[in-house]
């Protein structure tokens, strides 16, 4: 996973290696990652804070859309932005975070095609940057409105990498004193609450 550090190059995650290999096996270099931070903000500390905020939001987005590999998808979205930062740093205008969210939108469609070989209805069309930002603001609000124990459960349930997911869910179920199947049902219900909350928020209803 990508974590901001003072010298280490972020490692390529397992999801990228196994499911979404970038063309020509593009590798994140320290120079490329530094260029990304420079695009986010001239101040290194502020750039780091913005980077972590974007990454957390990407994980929330993929989690609330039911993606089982939310953290890996978030890292792949970041990888794709890093690979183009030399170009978009010059041509893109506006909040850099919106570019990440546009990449995440396309990546989510790829994910749906991978897990559903047959055509699936596309997610809500987000034609403008303003509409994308509105959805993500609603998502943040809805996640924050969850009771702390529900917020922690749903993020932990969906965030782990594939090889660690089974064991982590067993640990989480043990912590809650419930069976793994009951945990799955509980996580699904929380995700439905989030989806309905976001939909209501976008329709102008109170996000609760």
Residue 158 pLDDT exceeds 80: no
For the segment 124-138, the average pLDDT, to the nearest whole number, is 67
How many whole angstroms separate alpha carbon 188 and alpha carbon 195? 11
How many whole angstroms separate alpha carbon 66 and alpha carbon 165? 15
pLDDT digits (tens, 9 = 90+) for 90-101: 888 888 988 998
pLDDT above 70 covers what percent of the chain?
A: 74
Helices (H), the chain: 14-18, 30-40, 44-64, 70-91, 96-115, 129-145, 148-159, 162-176, 180-202
Residue 115 pLDDT exceeds 70: yes
Predicted confidence at residue 205, as pLDDT, reads 53
Task: Give φ, ψ of 135 to 5 degrees.
Answer: -65, -45
> Minimum mean pLDDT among 11-25, 27-41, 135-149, 156-170: which range?
11-25
How many whole angstroms separate alpha carbon 134 and alpha carbon 100? 15
Q: Is 81 in contact with 88 (CB distance < 8 Å)?
A: yes
Predicted confidence at residue 160, as pLDDT, reads 55
């Amino acid at each position: 996973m990508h974590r901001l550090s003072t010298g280490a190059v972020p490692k390529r995650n397992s999801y990228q290696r196994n499911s979404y290999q970038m063309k020509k096996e593009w590798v994140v270099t320290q120079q490329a990652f530094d260029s990304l931070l420079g695009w986010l903000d001239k101040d290194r500390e502020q750039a780091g804070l913005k980077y972590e905020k974007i990454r957390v939001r990407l994980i929330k987005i993929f989690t609330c859309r039911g993606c089982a590999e939310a953290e890996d998808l978030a890292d792949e979205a970041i990888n794709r932005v890093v690979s183009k930062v030399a170009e978009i740093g010059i041509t893109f205008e506006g909040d850099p975070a919106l570019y990440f969210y546009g990449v995440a939108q396309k990546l989510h469609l790829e994910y749906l095609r991978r897990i559903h070989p047959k055509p699936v209805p596309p997610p809500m069309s987000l034609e403008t940057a303003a509409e994308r930002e509105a959805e993500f603001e609603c998502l943040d609000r809805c996640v924050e409105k969850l009771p702390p124990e529900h917020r922690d459960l749903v993020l932990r349930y969906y965030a782990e990498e594939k090889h660690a997911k089974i064991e982590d869910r067993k640990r989480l179920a043990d912590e809650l004193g419930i069976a793994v199947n009951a945990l799955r049902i509980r996580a699904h219900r929380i995700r439905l609450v989030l989806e309905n909350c976001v939909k209501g928020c976008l329709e102008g209803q109170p996000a609760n």
